[in-house]
């Protein structure tokens, strides 16, 4: 069967043709999923064993200048109660994270004009000073080259910027005309060039996505070689133009996690909150498909519900400590162990010959 051949080839060469990627996606079935999953898990085990890295996610603001059609915190959503954490609150979240044993803090938010370089640099420096061996990851959207450079200089280690889709026409169906595919892609290249550990990613099952657009995403991952890749199912949000669109599926997300693991054996691949939202065991199944990162929420409980990118987001009621224990137990149940190391990407030279 051709699907198996392509998966074998991926396992061997870590690459495939665009039409082969599209074929894999178009011909997903339970046997293909199982085959990709087994290979992906074997590859991941060889490099990362049964360890899962944790990243403490701090949602620092839901104020956003952008109007992405899929996103619940888009500027046109007038029903969204806006908030922005103070510097003190952000630092408190990190202190709590440290108590819980986290060594990576992810500051994520909308494109909030209040976050000047000066403000962010101050926070980054304070976090790095107080939590000596931790990593700071930023996920604050598109900024200028100068800004990315300044934030790096202040101590930021990693940057997550999902490319959302590697197909320009598709990108334009997901975003208003004022947003640019070229700038998104350019930003990712700048981040990588500046020495950030860089993460891209996309939503699975976003409106107008096709096997061909996913093939381009996979090709992009193959060629760009990101350190991290965030993928999760698209889930509609009631106050967006995509309110009536269908959500992405658990199966396709897990299948793509396996495929991405085969393309980039070392990649840091989270089992996302969105995956946990569409299925009660989504995150466990993501890990069992080849993911190796989980991102428990460290945001103050008072703002959790307000950072609603999509409907029915999980983990909005629990304290951070509960979230951590819950995830730890979930991972244990499926034979994996959360570790508290910084969890940097393992480079090829550390793996011997894989
Ligand atoms: N402003 C930052 C952070 C965005 S939120 C940035 O631009 O990078 C992080 C990610 O959530 C987005 O990149 C998007 O892929 C995802 N997301 C947004 N709305 C979603 C939805 N309705 N369903 C699933 N994922 C969504």
- Looking at residues 274-296, what average pLDDT do you find? 98
- Ligand 1 atom at minimum distance from 235 CA: 23
Sheet with 337-339, side-by-side order of all strands: 293-294, 51-54, 337-339
Residue % of the chain over a pLDDT of 90: 96
In tens, the pLDDT along 42-78 reads 999 999 999 999 999 999 999 999 999 999 999 999 9
Site to probe by mutation for ligand 1, drawn from 72, 141, 203 as the one with most ligand atoms within 8 Å of Cβ, is 203
Q: Which atom of ligand 1 is least distant from the CA of 202?
A: 15
* Binding site membership of 138 for ligand 1 (Cβ less than 6 Å): no
Give the tokens for residue 299. Answer: 């945001």
The verdict on the CB of residue 336 being under 6 Å from ligand 1 is no
What's the chain's Rg over C-alpha atoms?
19
Band of the pLDDT at 352, cuts 50, 70, 90?
very low
Q: Residue 349 Cα, ligand 1 centroid: separation in angstroms?
A: 33
Determine if ligand 1 sits within 6 Å of the CB of residue 139. yes
Tell me, using a 6 A CB cutoff, whether residue 191 lines ligand 1.
Answer: no
Contact 140, 111 (CB under 8 A): yes
Contact (Cβ atoms closer than 8 angstroms) between residue 264 and residue 256? no
Pocket test for ligand 1, best of 159, 162, 308 (most atoms within 8 A of CB): 162
Q: Which pLDDT does position 354 carry in this prediction?
A: 40
Q: Which of 351 and 59 is assigned the larger pLDDT?
A: 59
Band (pLDDT 50/70/90 cuts) for residue 340 is: confident
Q: Which pLDDT value is given to residue 119?
A: 98
pLDDT over 60 at 351, yes or no: no
Question: What average pLDDT does range 333-347 have in this prediction?
Answer: 93
DSSP 314: S
- Residue 22 has a pLDDT of 98
Q: In the predicted model, what is the mean pLDDT of residues 26-36? A: 98
Query: What domains are there in the chain, each with its CATH number?
Result: 2-344 (3.20.20.70)
Residue whose structure tokens are 């200089």: 153
d(CA 324, CA 294): 10
- Mean of the pLDDT values across residues 23-49? 98
Distance of CA 214 to the CA centre of its chain: 16
**pLDDT score at 349:** 63
CB atoms under 10 Å from CB of 231, counted, come to 26
The C-alpha atoms of residue 321 and residue 96 are separated, in whole angstroms, by 8
Residue matched to tokens 């070229």:
182
> Residue 277 and residue 188: Cα distance in Å, rounded?
27
Could you tell me if the CB of 157 is within 6 A of ligand 1?
A: no
* 97-118 pLDDT per residue, tens: 999 999 999 999 999 999 999 9
pLDDT at 146: 98
As a whole number of angstroms, the distance between CA 19 and CA 59 comes to 38
CB 279 within 8 A of CB 251: no
> Model confidence over 239-274: pLDDT tens digits?
999 999 999 999 999 999 999 999 999 999 999 999
| Structural element, H or E, at residue 330 | helix 320-333
Name the residue of 66, 70, 137, 282 whose CB sits within 8 Å of the most ligand 1 atoms, as the mutation to test its pocket. 70
Q: Would the CA dihedral through 317, 310, 268, 259 be positive or negative?
A: positive
Got the DSSP string for 266-325? T-B-B--HHHHHHSTTHHHHHHHHT--EE--B-S-HHHHTT--SSTT-SSSSS-HHHHHH
Average per-residue pLDDT for the chain: 96
CB-ligand 1 contact for 108 (6 Å cutoff): yes
Chain segment 167-217, per-residue pLDDT in tens: 999 999 999 999 999 999 999 999 999 999 999 999 999 999 999 999 999
CB atoms within 10 A of CB 195: 10
Q: How far apart are CA 293 and CA 338, in angstroms?
A: 9
Only one residue has tokens 């051949």, namely 5
Q: State what percent of residues in the chain have pLDDT above 70.
A: 98
């Amino acid at each position: 069967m051709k699907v198996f051949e392509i998966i074998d080839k991926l396992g061997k060469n870590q690459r495939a043709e665009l039409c082969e990627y599209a074929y894999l996606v178009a011909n997903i079935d339970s046997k293909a999923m199982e085959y990709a999953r087994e290979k992906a898990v074997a590859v991941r085990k060889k490099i990362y064993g049964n360890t899962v890295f944790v990243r403490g996610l701090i949602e620092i603001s839901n104020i956003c200048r952008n109007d992405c059609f899929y996103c619940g915190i888009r500027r046109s959503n007038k029903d969204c109660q806006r908030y922005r954490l103070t510097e003190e609150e952000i630092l408190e979240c990190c202190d709590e994270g440290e108590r819980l044993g986290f060594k990576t803090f992810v500051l994520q938010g909308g494109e909030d004009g209040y976050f000047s370089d000066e403000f962010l640099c101050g926070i980054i420096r304070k976090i790095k000073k107080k939590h000596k061996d931790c990593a700071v990851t930023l996920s604050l959207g598109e900024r200028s080259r100068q800004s990315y450079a300044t934030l790096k200089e202040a101590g930021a280690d990693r940057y997550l910027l999902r490319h959302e889709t590697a197909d320009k026409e598709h990108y334009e169906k997901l975003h208003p005309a004022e947003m640019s595919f070229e700038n998104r892609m350019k930003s990712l290249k700048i981040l990588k060039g500046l020495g950030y550990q860089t993460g891209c990613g996309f939503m699975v099952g976003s409106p107008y996505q096709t096997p061909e657009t996913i093939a381009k995403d996979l090709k992009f991952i193959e060629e760009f070689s990101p350190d991290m890749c965030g993928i999760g199912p698209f889930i509609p949000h009631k106050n967006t133009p995509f309110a009536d669109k269908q959500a992405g599926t658990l199966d396709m997300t897990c299948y793509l996690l396996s495929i991405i693991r085969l393309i980039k054996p070392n990649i840091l691949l989270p089992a996302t909150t969105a995956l946990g939202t569409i299925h009660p065991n989504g995150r466990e199944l993501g890990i069992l498909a080849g993911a190796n990162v989980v991102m428990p929420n460290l945001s103050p409980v008072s703002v959790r519900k307000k950072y609603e990118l999509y409907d029915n987001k999980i983990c909005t009621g629990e304290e951070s400590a509960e979230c951590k224990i819950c995830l730890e137990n979930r991972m244990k149940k499926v034979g994996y162990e959360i570790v508290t190391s910084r969890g940097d990407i393992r480079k090829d030279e550390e793996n011997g010959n894989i």
